[in-house]
Amino acid sequence: MPTHEGGRGFEYECPEICLHAGLASFGYVGVATGENYPDALAGGIGAGVQGGVVALTASSRLSTATKSTLEDHAPGILYVDVFGGTTAVAPAVRTAIEAALGW
């Protein structure tokens, strides 16, 4: 399992790790900022109930790991929720999510 010194960066790879561990599917994806935890924490409950994952991103740009994960699993992703308002996840990130999914 990948690790990063100081714990920074690893959190953006978690959805992929959960999928390979058989802990979740990508039918439902919640997206939250990885820069602050409340939205991801609250959204994680809903994602878990749906059997899905929470993908983390930067507030102002779609993180590379999350973009790659969304592109790789786009055919199986049926629903995406973005947690937090536009100050938590910028409208440009929402647009990038749709582009990564081909929506």
The domain total for the chain is 1
Interatomic CA distance for residues 46 and 29, integer angstroms: 10
Interatomic CA distance for residues 25 and 39, integer angstroms: 20
**58 phi/psi in degrees, rounded to 5:** -75, 155
CB 30 within 8 A of CB 47: yes
* Tens digits of residue pLDDT in 71-92: 988 999 999 999 998 989 999 9
State which residues form the domain around 39: 5-101
Interatomic CA distance for residues 3 and 26, integer angstroms: 23
* Tens digits of residue pLDDT in 9-47: 545 555 554 544 445 577 899 999 888 888 888 888 888
**The pLDDT of residue 85:** 87
- Segment 58-80 mean pLDDT: 90
pLDDT-derived band of residue 50, with 50, 70 and 90 as boundaries? confident
Whether residue 55 has pLDDT greater than 80: yes
Tokens of 79: 């629903």
